[in-house]
A and B are shown apart, each in its own frame.
Chain A
Amino acid sequence: MDIQSIHSILLERFGESVVGTQTFKAIDPWIQVSAASIVEVCTFLRDDPRLLFNHLNDLCGVDYLEPDAKKAAKFGHEPHVEVVYHLSSLKQRHQLKLKVVVPRWKDNVEGQLPIVPSLSAIFGIANWHEREAYDLMGIHFEGHPNLRRILCPEDWIGHPMRKDYAFPLEYHGVRGR
């Protein structure tokens, strides 16, 4: 099933407050979904007999920020963080990309992680992917049963994949650079 028909099915079911309108001009077109309803949308996508998106291929965060002030004018994106979900159906053999856009910091207070609901009750693998996104990108997944760092040590400070991450000068007596 192509992206336009999936989009119209979602629009019919959830309405425009949940599903964003898209132009589908990208190589891999995507559908933007509001953060609050991502769990409902994914449950529907998984269980609807026409769609059956039962496989979460990937879940990752993307930080849109240009830390260099000289290049910021040409950057072309407002600073924000996206959570990108790649779903596919092993039965219907089609794919879908969903995006959730959240501010870089909750309430624009630096250090307050943006909140996205967790998919770990729907897809088993979301548990680990969300832990990785939390660890590296600094996104708080609400409702996650075990939101701890997964790749970095537990006492690591900061989220390395953020564009404005400052590399530590020292970690437990080991010099950083």
Chain B
Amino acid sequence: MSLHIEDPRIVEFDVQTDEMLVNMGPQHPSTHGVLRLLLRTDGEIVHECTPHIGYLHRCAEKIGENLSPPQYIPYTDRMDYLAAMNMNLGFALAVEKLIGMEVPEKAVHLRVLIAEIGRIASHLVGMGTYGLDLGTFSPFLYAFREREIILDLFEEVCGARLTYSYITIGGATHDLPDEIEMPDGLASLIGKHKGERLPFLDVIEIFLQWLELRIREYHTLLTRNMIFISRTAGLGILSPEMAVSYGCTGPVLRGSGVDFDLRRDGEAIYTRMYKGYDFEVPVAPFKEAPREVALGDNWCRFYVRMMEVVQAIRLVRQAIPKYKAASGSYREPFKMNTKLPKDEVYLETEAPRGQMGFYVVGNGEGNPLRLRAKSSCFCNVSVTDQICQGVPLADIPAIVGSLDIVMGEIDR
């Protein structure tokens, strides 16, 4: 009996592909550190994507039970190492809330200034590495060029380039420097002579002016790039209901159209810092979005980050005169023998990647009874399985990259 095929396309549909388990990571270059994804694929289509985490687990919470709060500050650096200043701030505020400490006005504006520059640096990495995930290399170089200058400035502030431990309980470890030598990177970019000494706050203003013009370039490189749009728009759609149910926060939540930012809606001890500051919270959907874009897709999450950089620049600009005019010291001294009261606090702050929470239980001793760090990326990455179903294998890095995760924070 001969087999007659009337319409060859039907045979294509009848081909049975085997289900296959594909292991992606933990050493895969596009998973941002040591994230392991176990993909169940049918042909090229992914049906199940299970994240396996814990390769960077150091049990930082247990370490916290054996250290006093100022000693624990360096460990918060090593959680989200791309936004260490914001992590320091979150923990410092939680302990201040527990012991009822008031921070001087000067320290408040110093913190806003430093934390928002940290947010710019973190979002630059998020943007640059997202370009890498999608196969374009040049935005990464531009982003790291800019970030390098921020690291130079932070080095002048506290001596460290990545793990700062600068913002501490009661304020900061030092005041901002008065006058610095202009960083070599910035000097060569704006055509100034190397070695020129300028007031620190003026250098920040020079840098912001320079960065502001570059943001338009990033938009041409990525945001409005046709290839970028076709790799991101309409992909990895996270509905607002699912984002809330899965505890997503930060740009992931706002990219899904939920208008919530702790700098505006958070607890009093945190929003008090931003009182008197004028800023907007970018929330999807955007009017200027290309028509392919859907609410809560990769493009929206990316664009929220880009818009937050603009808002962070605004905040830093407002913080500079406030810091100059503020009176008082840059810190309230914290005695090393302070006993934590028999009480417990939970405080979330808006870190660049989402709401970072610290839960501190004191028991009348110097060390806390329990220290819990609730990670924002932990919640954001838990939604991967839901948004990666039914997409081709090649889109997995694009979707996971748009969540902008840092494994140090997930595994703690």
Q: B-contacting residues of A (Cβ < 8 Å)?
A: 26-28, 54-58, 60, 62-64, 74-77, 84, 86, 90, 93, 95, 97, 123-125, 127-128, 132, 136, 149-153, 160-161
Contact = CB atoms under 8 A, between A and B. Distances in A.
Nearest to A153: B54
- From A55, A63, A84, A86, residue with most partner B Cβ within 10 Å: A55
Question: Chain B interface: which size bin?
Answer: 35 or more
Contact of B346 (A55, A97, A125, A151): A97
B206 interface: no
Interface of B: 53-54, 57, 59, 61-62, 97-98, 100, 242, 244-247, 258, 260, 265, 267, 342-346, 348, 355, 357, 359, 361, 363-364, 369-370, 372, 374, 378-379, 382-383, 386, 411-412
Nearest to A75: B363
Given A28-B344, A125-B245, A151 B363 contact: no
Given A28-B345, A90-B244, A153-B54, A62 B361 contact: yes
B319 to A, nearest CB: 25
A150 B54 contact: yes
A57 B359 CA distance: 11
Nearest to A127: B382
A28 B346 contact: yes
A60 B359 contact: yes
A60 B372 contact: yes
A86 B357 contact: yes
B364 A76 contact: yes
A66 B351 CA distance: 34
Contact of B343 (A26, A62, A93, A95): A26
Nearest to A97: B346
Contacts of A93: 265
Given A125-B247, A151-B411, A58 B372 contact: yes
Nearest to A30: B344
A84 B372 CA distance: 11
B359 A56 contact: no
Contacts of B370: 62-63
A27 B98 contact: yes
A26 B344 contact: yes
Given A28-B345, A124-B247, 12 more contacts: A27-B98, A56-B247, A57-B355, A60-B372, A62-B361, A64-B369, A76-B342, A86-B357, A90-B258, A123-B245, A124-B246, A124-B386
Contacts of B100: 27
A165 to B, nearest CB: 8
Contacts of B412: 151
A120 to B, nearest CB: 11
A57 B372 CA distance: 12
A93 B266 CA distance: 8
Sorted from nearest, which 4 A-B pairs have the closest CB atoms? A125-B247, A124-B246, A151-B54, A124-B245
B345 to A, nearest CB: 5
A50 B205 CA distance: 47
A51 to B, nearest CB: 15
B53 A151 contact: yes
- Most chain B Cβ neighbours within 10 Å, of A56, A86, A151: A151
B374 A60 contact: yes
A27 B265 CA distance: 19
A124 B241 CA distance: 10
Contacts of B247: 55-57, 123-125
20 contacts: A26-B343, A27-B97, A27-B98, A27-B343, A27-B345, A28-B345, A57-B247, A60-B374, A62-B370, A76-B342, A76-B363, A93-B265, A97-B346, A123-B246, A124-B246, A124-B247, A125-B247, A125-B379, A125-B382, A150-B53
Contacts of A74: 364
Contacts of B386: 124
A77 B369 CA distance: 11
B242 A124 contact: yes
A28 B369 CA distance: 16
